[in-house]
Structure 1
Amino acid sequence: MFTFTYYVSVLTVIIGGSAQFYTYDVINPAQTTLIKWLNQTYSSRGELKTEAELNMVWSMIVSCVAIGAIFGALSTKPLSERLGRRNGLIFNGIFNVIGALLEYLAKPLSSPEILVIGRIILGVNMGLTSGLVPMYLMEITPTKYRGSAGTCHMVAVAFSDWFSMLLALPEVFGGDETWPIAFGFPGIPAFLLCCILPFCPESPKFSLLIKQDRVATLNDIGRLVDVHEGQQMYEDLIREKTNSDTNENISVSYLFTSKELRMPLIICVWVMVAQQFTGAAAIFAYSTNMFLNAGLEPQIARFSTLGISIIYFLFACSSVHLIERKGRRVLSLFQLSTVTASLTAMSIFTWAQAYYNINLASYGAIAALLAYMCGYGIGSPIPWMIASEIFPTKYRSSAVTIAISVAWSLVFIISLAYLPFKQWVGVSASYLPFIIVSAISTCFVYFLLPETRNKHTNEIAQDIQFRSDTIRRYSLNILPSVGSSMG
């Protein structure tokens, strides 16, 4: 059914282009090593930094990736429509190679500034990757296998999470002299992507609905699937082309002003907000610090961080099967409810340990964090897929741009603000914003997110309209009764 070229295309993209969180997570277990290097570097310049100043520099090094990612996300629409999905990924791979090289050179050149610049460039790569990779994978795959293709991306992301934390351990490549190897590693698979992907097909959807080239479309489909599957895939594309005028130049602002697109936009943005307010950005960036707060020794804390990353990866792998069997909506509800319960337990256990000195509470906090990773891993692919599934092709790149920009803006805010916020309110209270938003998001998903499994965009649009109309009618009916009872 699928051709050899299809598998090469998928493997090339997920290995070379899905390490979007490697750069974000690699810094976690290397925190002690990097702060020591920063202190030595500034001291050699005659600049003595206080602990508070070093913490601020550290927070900027952690969060500057998200600054680049915001710019990368905002570039998703123009890049994907001008260069195409495949060529956009190749262009993006070049950013990865350059950023990784700069990170590698930061220590030999004794320059924290070069490290920051390299991380910002890699951030641009991450922002583009967040939109381009799932878009390309889902557009080269027939509708009934679309969810599995999109999930493969997040499985690769989960793999890069724990792999980055493995390489960055002081016992591996996170030592005083070897950490540049761990930081520069993403450039290797990105270079391979730049070499292999030019020989892979473009997205058939891009060829037909954006370039209006039927010959190129048929050629792309023929290189991806067999004749039977290719015929169905082409008919689906023709149907989608008939239902939309893709010659129209759709701006990002149009999604905010169009009545029929407003609710789908709210849904895809909110599920992304929900994903970020699960606290994942803070946990992946500062989990070692969290384990230290729970009373673990530094080495055990680092290996515990690696352990929870492996758990996240294993449960993300299970989502490849579950996402087509159970659907997106069910897994999203499971993720958000599990995360809400786990964060609540973590808050209670850390509070008990801090104020009542209950040593066993630290083990409860660790168990809650493990449960968190199980729930988060199962539902982690869904928000990155929703925009590509609920919007027709002509709106898709704009919707993905908005959703990914919101995601990385929140990653920046959360990763920059979490440590100061934790110092202000205490460890246990620092989880409260995540708990509140996750609980609200669970209700939102239950009432408004439709099931998108094996559905075309017009079917999904009808489901969204039905749900929003039902809620509107219910609100109109209940408000007068509330007013009369108050009267």
Structure 2
Amino acid sequence: MAEGAEERSPALASPPEDPGATQGTSKPSGVSGTLALTVCAAAIGGTFQYGYNISIINAPTGYIQRFINETHAERWGGGLDGAQVTLAWTLVVSAFSLGGLSGALLAGPLAVRFGRKNSLLLNNSFLFAGAALALACRAARSPEMLVLSRFLAGVNAGVSMNVQPMYFGESAPTHLRGAVAFSSAVFTALGIVLGQAAGLTGLLGAEPLWPYLLASNALPGLVQLLALPWFPESPRYLLIDRGDEEACVRALRRLRGGEVPASEMEEMRRERELRTPAAPAATPWSLFRDPATRPQLRTVVAASAAMMLCGNDSIYFYASYIFLAAGIPPEKIQYVTVGTGASELAASVLSNLLIERVGRRALLVGGYCLMSVWSAVFTAALVLQSRGVASAAYLGVACVFAYILSFGLGPAGVTGILPAEIFDQAARPAAYAAAGSCMWLGLLLVGMLFPYAVRGLGSFCFLPFLAVCVASAAYQGLTLPETKGKTLAEITAEFHERNRKKGGPERPAGDHGELGQALAVTDLDLDLDPVHKNGDLL
């Protein structure tokens, strides 16, 4: 690959002679149905799995706790008390978060070594191994197999939550980049809804079927394994990382419906030329040490941590209690709970339609502002309910749906887009590793501490989430520039300007800062019309 890249270097320096590019056109990059099918094939075994796996574990909670207690009695001659069963159940639930953290750290090296598409395909091996363990754990009378199964499912989710947005952001044209990347959140919400539906007692939610429910995540993985190989790899990975311009042009032709925009190819060529071949791969620590990338890294890390610390997953957990207190019959609660997942799905679809009109920053900050309001109202409803105001329970139900709708409208999808838009090709895997690690650590922290917060704070248990939402809205509003329709050079320059005003370095430092600065300078030298400049693929 290195020799091939050297042979093509004259072509890289002379954009007008590119035989694969469409010259002189003033319309935006074309898009084919292949792009939409690529999104579906990648997401069904990608972020869909995250949503599906966090929801299918809720229905069989009592069955699994009974299974753990029974196997302990068979081995040691006595059952566990309530606190011990809860601790064992916490271990089962936390295994998924620990696996997700491991997957987030593994995603970067996988994406660099094997590419975006192949990483998603290889990622299914964790899923299939975990599904096999889930099927066999009850017959083997082994809760340990169940814990390992959930850990492997978490590894799969951790890899896909990082690699899939990277793949989408690098494959979509700039004018659709946000909508394509936001589809990750849509498929996450779809996974939540289908997981809740699969857990209904009329389907796989009955006690004899809970191992099959936990193993059913293998079916979407199988669909991806059969479908995704037919679609192209990320064009940016093919050209910038592998140096294979012919494969890049072929991929772009399929993704753009036969058209290969000259501006898009030229932007990728410039980024490849400006990279230092002998430079070591970027790491989260190297991004933090580099003054040019530190503000961007702080922004994505804060957004990723807030996505889990805001308590959206906890409100799913708390919904059953709220619905029961509102007078909904216990046997009907499972059907109403499906409505919470449907609410997030509807909000994600709406946000997918709005993101290229409203912008990323407005959706993210606006989502957290709305969540702050509903957290305050929800706390007031819980206080009134504890004082005997029966109608307050219905207000709490409304807040559950409003909170989830607000989360799906912005933070659920925008957070995953940010690393793909504000970091260059070399830094992007490391940025996703840092962001993903913070996200999974936040999920682990909330999952372990929320039951104690309910016990200790009572009706005020959502005040910590209120504080997170207010702080996130303020921080992102102050630090995050709007990235809609902008090139990497423009986004880098705006971060640099904000950092300079706060007393940062006058010029970006370090390898990645030099790359962004060089892209910003060379962008001015291109004789491209405004439509072409807005069509550059990041």
TM-score by length of 2: 0.83
Q: 2:212 aligns with which of 181, 204, 208?
A: 181
Kindly indicate whether residue 297 of structure 2 is the aligned counterpart of residue 265 of structure 1: yes
1:294–1:108 distance in 2 versus 1, CA, 3 Å: farther
Q: 1:112 aligns with which of 143, 151, 168?
A: 143
Q: 2:63 aligns with which of 27, 33, 40?
A: 33
Greater alpha carbon shift after TM alignment, 288-297 vs 47-56: 288-297
Cα distance between partner residues in 2 of 1:172 and 1:353: 34
Cα distance between partner residues in 1 of 2:397 and 2:475: 29
Aligned match of 2:270? 239
The answer to whether the Cα contact below 8 Å between 2:479 and 2:498 also exists between their aligned partners in 1 is yes
Q: 1:306 aligns with which of 338, 359, 363?
A: 338
Aligned partner of residue 178 in structure 1, secondary structure: helix
Residue by residue, what CA displacement relative to the aligned partner does 1:39-64 show, whole Å, maximum 9, x if unpaired? 33434443311111111112221221
1:397-408 maps to which residues of 2 (within 5 A)? Answer: 397-408=429-440
The answer to whether the Cα contact below 8 Å between 1:37 and 1:176 also exists between their aligned partners in 2 is no
- RMSD (CA atoms): 1.9
Q: 1:365 aligns with which of 373, 396, 402?
A: 396
Q: 1:132 aligns with which of 163, 177, 195?
A: 163
Residue by residue, what CA displacement relative to the aligned partner does 1:226-285 show, whole Å, maximum 9, x if unpaired? 343444432332233345446522331211110111100001111112211210232234
1:230–1:195 distance in 2 versus 1, CA, 3 Å: farther
Cα distance between partner residues in 2 of 1:33 and 1:286: 19
The answer to whether the Cα contact below 8 Å between 2:99 and 2:158 also exists between their aligned partners in 1 is yes
Cα distance between partner residues in 1 of 2:403 and 2:280: 42
Instruction: Give the structure with higher Rg (CA).
Output: 2
Aligned match of 1:160? 191
1:7–1:44 distance in 2 versus 1, CA, 3 Å: same
1:265-304 maps to which residues of 2 (within 5 A)? Answer: 265-292=297-324, 296-304=328-336
Structure 2: any 5+ residue segments left out of the alignment?
1-29, 505-538
Cα distance between partner residues in 2 of 1:17 and 1:245: 32
Greater alpha carbon shift after TM alignment, 38-47 vs 17-26: 38-47
The answer to whether the Cα contact below 8 Å between 1:272 and 1:406 also exists between their aligned partners in 2 is yes
Kindly indicate whether residue 423 of structure 2 is the aligned counterpart of residue 391 of structure 1: yes
Aligned partner of residue 124 in structure 1, secondary structure: helix
Aligned match of 1:222? 253
The answer to whether the Cα contact below 8 Å between 2:315 and 2:400 also exists between their aligned partners in 1 is no
Aligned match of 1:421? 453
Q: 2:254 is matched by which residue type in structure 1?
A: R
Greater alpha carbon shift after TM alignment, 42-51 vs 269-278: 42-51
Aligned partner of residue 108 in structure 1, secondary structure: coil
Aligned match of 2:40? 11
Aligned match of 1:151? 182
The answer to whether the Cα contact below 8 Å between 1:67 and 1:123 also exists between their aligned partners in 2 is yes
Greater alpha carbon shift after TM alignment, 35-44 vs 189-198: 35-44
Structure 1: any 5+ residue segments left out of the alignment?
474-487
Cα distance between partner residues in 2 of 1:227 and 1:171: 47
Residue by residue, what CA displacement relative to the aligned partner does 1:291-350 show, whole Å, maximum 9, x if unpaired? 446665432332222111111111111111111110000101111011111111111111
Cα distance between partner residues in 2 of 1:198 and 1:158: 25
Aligned partner of residue 246 in structure 2, secondary structure: helix
Q: 2:308 is matched by which residue type in structure 1?
A: Q
1:35-50 maps to which residues of 2 (within 5 A)? Answer: 35-45=65-75, 46-50=77-81
Greater alpha carbon shift after TM alignment, 243-252 vs 6-15: 243-252
Q: 2:497 is matched by which residue type in structure 1?
A: F
The answer to whether the Cα contact below 8 Å between 1:294 and 1:350 also exists between their aligned partners in 2 is no
Q: 1:305 is matched by which residue type in structure 2?
A: T
1:82–1:290 distance in 2 versus 1, CA, 3 Å: farther
Cα distance between partner residues in 2 of 1:27 and 1:401: 26
Aligned match of 1:93? 124
The answer to whether the Cα contact below 8 Å between 2:129 and 2:152 also exists between their aligned partners in 1 is yes
TM-score by length of 1: 0.92
Question: 1:450, CA displacement in angstroms?
Answer: 0.8
Cα distance between partner residues in 2 of 1:350 and 1:297: 20
The answer to whether the Cα contact below 8 Å between 2:104 and 2:436 also exists between their aligned partners in 1 is yes
Greater alpha carbon shift after TM alignment, 120-129 vs 342-351: 342-351
1:439–1:472 distance in 2 versus 1, CA, 3 Å: farther
Cα distance between partner residues in 2 of 1:242 and 1:319: 36
The answer to whether the Cα contact below 8 Å between 1:99 and 1:118 also exists between their aligned partners in 2 is yes
Cα distance between partner residues in 1 of 2:78 and 2:225: 41
The answer to whether the Cα contact below 8 Å between 1:210 and 1:247 also exists between their aligned partners in 2 is no
Kindly indicate whether residue 479 of structure 2 is the aligned counterpart of residue 448 of structure 1: yes
Greater alpha carbon shift after TM alignment, 26-35 vs 183-192: 26-35
- Structure number having the greater helix percentage: 1
Q: 1:108 is matched by which residue type in structure 2?
A: A
Residue by residue, what CA displacement relative to the aligned partner does 1:180-209 show, whole Å, maximum 9, x if unpaired? 222111101212222332332211111111
Q: 1:67 aligns with which of 62, 79, 98?
A: 98
The answer to whether the Cα contact below 8 Å between 2:60 and 2:207 also exists between their aligned partners in 1 is no
Q: 1:360 is matched by which residue type in structure 2?
A: S
Residue by residue, what CA displacement relative to the aligned partner does 1:410-459 show, whole Å, maximum 9, x if unpaired? 10111112112322222x22211111111011111111111111111111
Q: 1:316 is matched by which residue type in structure 2?
A: S
Greater alpha carbon shift after TM alignment, 339-348 vs 290-299: 290-299
User: Quick one: percent identity of the two aligned structures?
Assistant: 27
Greater alpha carbon shift after TM alignment, 363-372 vs 414-423: 414-423
Cα distance between partner residues in 1 of 2:327 and 2:59: 16
Q: 1:136 is matched by which residue type in structure 2?
A: Y
The answer to whether the Cα contact below 8 Å between 2:107 and 2:163 also exists between their aligned partners in 1 is yes
Alignment length (residue pairs): 471
Question: 1:18, CA displacement in angstroms?
Answer: 2.3
The answer to whether the Cα contact below 8 Å between 1:210 and 1:246 also exists between their aligned partners in 2 is no
Aligned partner of residue 292 in structure 2, secondary structure: helix
Greater alpha carbon shift after TM alignment, 60-69 vs 14-23: 14-23
Cα distance between partner residues in 2 of 1:260 and 1:441: 22
Kindly indicate whether residue 411 of structure 2 is the aligned counterpart of residue 382 of structure 1: no
Greater alpha carbon shift after TM alignment, 272-281 vs 29-38: 29-38
